[in-house]
């Protein structure tokens, strides 16, 4: 795999950070490429060198985080939900500006939908409705229920300023999932 020039990575990170910061103050549809370029301290051509337009940029940002969360899920496959949640919530905390902005912005529906789809994909294989407390329940309903609860809890945590420590929310959501999905 070819090594990416550090200057390219630095420009891309500045561009992504600029979009995230701008979304705090403006609706995404109102943000221009010039706004992004000014905030990132790059010229418009640099943005177009890496992205077709602002929608491509946003989609790539979302996809990058979804891929990272998916990779974290796979790396935690042999862990309990509680142990796996530590990894996820640490990631959420590390990237809180992106996630809180995406979940609170006016364009949040698209991001929330992508996030929910990821959680459904990752939780799906864990839901067993053939035994235990979930015996006889519809697998589709169970998956949607637990996935929506997880996404809603993450959203609530960000909207409330992450007032509960990362370790505590990871432990408690993990315990609820362990209790209900085993």
Residues 44 and 67 in one domain: no
User: Within the chain, which residues score under 70 in pLDDT?
Assistant: 1-4, 106-108, 182
8 A C-beta contact, residue 174 and residue 85? yes
DSSP state of 131: S
Q: Round to whole Å and give the CA distance between 154 and 95.
A: 13
8 A C-beta contact, residue 63 and residue 56? no
pLDDT digits 0-9 by tens, 58-98: 999 999 999 999 999 888 878 877 788 899 999 999 999 89
Q: Round to whole Å and give the CA distance between 66 and 115.
A: 7
| Residue at a domain's end among 51, 74, 91 | 51
Unique residue bearing structure tokens 């070819």: 2
DSSP sequence for 133-176: GGTTS-HHHHHHHHHHHHHHHHHHHHHTTT-S-HHHHHHHHHHH
- Domain with 9, as residue range(s), is 1-51
What's the CATH number where 33 sits?
1.10.10.60
Residues 63 and 141 in one domain: yes
Residues 11 and 100 in one domain: no
DSSP state of 2: P
Residue 103 is predicted with a pLDDT of 86
| Residue at a domain's end among 14, 29, 51 | 51
**Six-digit token string for 5:** 């020039």
Total domain count for the chain? 2
Unique residue bearing structure tokens 């300023």: 161
Residues 46 and 100 in one domain: no
Residue 150 is predicted with a pLDDT of 93
Residues 26 and 112 in one domain: no
Residue 107 is predicted with a pLDDT of 61
Residues 99 and 171 in one domain: yes
**Six-digit token string for 70:** 């998916």
Q: How far apart are the first and last CA of the chain?
A: 40
Residues 27 and 63 in one domain: no
SS3 at position 80:
coil
Residues 96 and 65 in one domain: yes
Residue 1 is predicted with a pLDDT of 57
Residues 39 and 106 in one domain: no
C-alpha dist (Å) from residue 98 to 12, 65, 92, 111, 153: 15, 9, 9, 11, 16
Residue 117 is predicted with a pLDDT of 95
Residues 43 and 122 in one domain: no
- In our burial notation (b when 16+ CB lie closer than 10 A, e otherwise), range 107-122 reads ebeebbebbbebbbeb
Residues 83 and 63 in one domain: yes
Residues 2 and 77 in one domain: no
């Amino acid at each position: 795999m070819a090594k990416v020039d550090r200057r390219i990575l630095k420009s891309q990170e500045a561009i992504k950070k600029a979009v995230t910061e701008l979304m705090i103050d403006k609706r995404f549809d109102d943000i221009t490429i010039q706004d992004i370029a000014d905030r990132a301290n790059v010229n418009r051509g640099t943005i177009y060198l890496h992205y077709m337009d602002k929608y491509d940029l946003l989609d790539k940002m979302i996809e990058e985080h979804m891929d990272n969360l998916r990779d974290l899920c796979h790396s935690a496959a042999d862990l309990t939900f509680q142990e796996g949640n530590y990894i996820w919530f640490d990631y959420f905390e590390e990237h809180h500006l992106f996630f809180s902005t995406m979940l609170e912005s006016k364009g949040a529906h698209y991001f929330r939908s992508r996030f929910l789809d990821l959680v459904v994909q990752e939780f799906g294989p864990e839901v067993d409705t053939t035994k235990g407390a979930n015996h006889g329940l519809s697998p589709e309903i169970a998956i949607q229920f637990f996935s929506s609860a997880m996404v809603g809890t993450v959203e609530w945590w960000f909207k409330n300023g992450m007032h509960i420590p990362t370790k505590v929310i990871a432990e408690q959501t993990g315990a609820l999932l362990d209790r209900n999905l085993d």
